[in-house]
A and B are shown apart, each in its own frame.
Chain A
Amino acid sequence: MRSLGWTRLGWPALRLLLTVAIVLGVFGLFLWALGKDPIQAYRDTFRLNLLNPRGLAGVLARMAPLLLTALGVALPFRSGLINVGAEGQFLMGALAGTWAALNLPALPWGLHLALVLLAGMGGGALWAAIPGALRALGWVNETIATLLLNYLAPLVVGYFVFGPWRAPELAFYPQTPEFPASARLPLWFGTRLHLGFFLGLFFLLAYAYLVSRSRWGLELRAVGGNPEAARRLGLPVERWILAAMVLGGALAGLAGITEVAAVHARLKLDISPGYGFMGFLVNWLAFAHPVGILVMSFLLAFIASSGFTLQITQRLPYAAVNVLMALILFTVLAKPLAREVRR
């Protein structure tokens, strides 16, 4: 991260606008082919999610989990690891945080909430420690391990939500009892905007500082840049690999528990419309750059909100959002190689 001059920001911004234009065009054709009215669909999504304060607050609320999962991917990415497991870490964070929310005795408001959030980070960290350790030992590739663990996490959550933690009064829909007020994240301005958004911004700043200004960040990037050289310099490469995964998992786990504690107030199976995967996408589009992560998580939060809008106004299944995200990735990957992957 060198100085953020206009030449360094201007070109990426222009390219981003061009990418968005191409993607909107292609997705519009796609909607048209499905027999929908793309103009009307776009008008609805912009009107309901950007041009109206309530909708905008909803987009910002969705930015919270995306910022955190993107950082959860970005930290390992800087040390040369591909963490595709933020989705599972998100769920495990939500699970561990829910345990703290429902089982800790009555505590003063701030303390209980802090412990709940810490438990969430712990859950995500532990889940990420599995592929982290396997990779640090040189046994299993972290990409495939994190992908497989994504399929295990919902089963673990399902066991608790359908089993021991199931709320007895809601027999028709498996979910845990409601969080006590002391374990809820505050919502603001009568909108969906919640503390998680500021937690996300805080950790984004911390990440920017850690990676580009601190000795730890230098070591982290050295391990990612050339592990062999880092080893010869005497850096504990294995320990850094494990640490990067665990820290990343902690952030993704924090995303999970903030989402539950702010939005749902109880743990259930469908708390994530793919936030972990979207976080991966955000990090990829941003190349782990803090400013990029901020911009891209806003863009993807807008897209996710639009997905729900289209679900209602155009009766499109939410999965159509995945097509839109794929189109963005295809477009970005197909552009002439402007720069190599920088860590």
Chain B
Amino acid sequence: MNWFLSWISGAILYAAPILFPTLGEVVEQRTGMVNLGLEGLMLLGASVGFSVSFVTRNAWLGVLAAAGVGLVANLIYAGLVVHRRAHQLAAGLALMFFGIGMSALIGKPYVGQMAPGLPKYALAGSQSLLFRYDPLVYLAFLLAPLLWFLLFRTRFGLWLRAVGESPAIAYAAGVSPNAVRYFAAALAGTLAAVGGAHLSLGITGTWSEGMTAGRGFIAIALVIFSRWNPLRAIAGALLFGGAVVLQLQLQAQGVGISPFFLDMLPYVLTLLVLLVWGRGVRHVAPASLGRVYFGTE
């Protein structure tokens, strides 16, 4: 029972850094843009957040800086895709290279250091050491219903989805597809970088090169699993968080399985999730996803 509770508690913690980028990508893909650069954005967020927190001795300034850098970096992607009509997958992978390289450069002096982490607050009623989280965890789980409301219950959300289904028709209805896409990209960049910063400031407390270990790509898989719905993204993130914690627990208990095989767990699970839930989603996906909008000239 105790083991089970600590598993749940850990799954919630590890769900947060993947929930942020997943939510951002849901919004971005709802406007028709696939962004493979999440991994780079998360790495940027993790290293910028960590180094700013280390220098200023204030973790919140780190989170803020990460958010700003993520926003700006993803505007590069949006500029290429929206303004220059570049191929989305190539632009995303370029952003990935950029993030991998820049994060390594920025974080290099801080490898092996400790920075001030985020403060932790107990979930209501919890007396034990379990279920104590930093505010970003609460924020992540709060954002999901908020973004759901934005997407499905507001006029602006309707615009977002309309651009993703058909930019030309949205344009005819008086919406600027480009402005909407820039907004979505700014939001997604911010969220992905905050997710990365949560990893380095809320969970590990350290920075190391490539520390996101493919979470950016797993988030993209979770978007497909969530069927572009922020609420379902919570379930996906918890599933992933549960796999990570299970792997850590099994490792700590010293089961006779090689740690290399245990480390495979989240990736294999993600592939299985795609296999089971990713089939036949094409009719759910935004219709203009991945397409270049050439405007109406």
Contacts and interface: CB of A to CB of B under 8 A. Distances in A.
Interface of A: 34, 82, 84, 134, 138-141, 143-145, 147-152, 155-156, 158-159, 162-163, 277, 280-281, 284, 316-317, 319-327, 329-330, 333-337, 341
B229 to A, nearest CB: 18
Nearest to A143: B89
Residue of B93, B97, B270 ringed by the most chain A CB atoms within 10 A: B97
Contacts of B102: 323
Nearest to B102: A323
29 contacts: A34-B105, A82-B89, A138-B279, A139-B279, A141-B274, A141-B278, A145-B274, A147-B217, A147-B220, A155-B261, A155-B264, A156-B264, A159-B258, A159-B261, A317-B108, A319-B100, A319-B104, A319-B209, A320-B101, A320-B105, A322-B97, A322-B101, A323-B102, A324-B101, A326-B95, A333-B90, A333-B94, A334-B84, A337-B85
Nearest to B91: A333
Taking chain B's interface residues, is the majority helix, strand, or loop, or is none over half, making it mixed?
Answer: helix
Interface in B209-237: 209, 213-214, 217-218, 220-221, 224
B260 A159 contact: yes
B36 interface: yes
Interface residues of B, number: 44
A30 B213 CA distance: 26
A134 B275 contact: yes
A333 B95 CA distance: 11
Contact of A148 (B91, B101, B217): B217
A152 B267 contact: yes
Contact of A323 (B89, B105, B279): B105
Interface string B75-112: 01001100011110111011101101111110010000
A324 B94 CA distance: 10
B158 interface: no
Contacts of A319: 100-101, 103-105, 209
A329 B104 CA distance: 19
Contacts of B101: 319-326
B271 interface: yes
Nearest to B83: A334
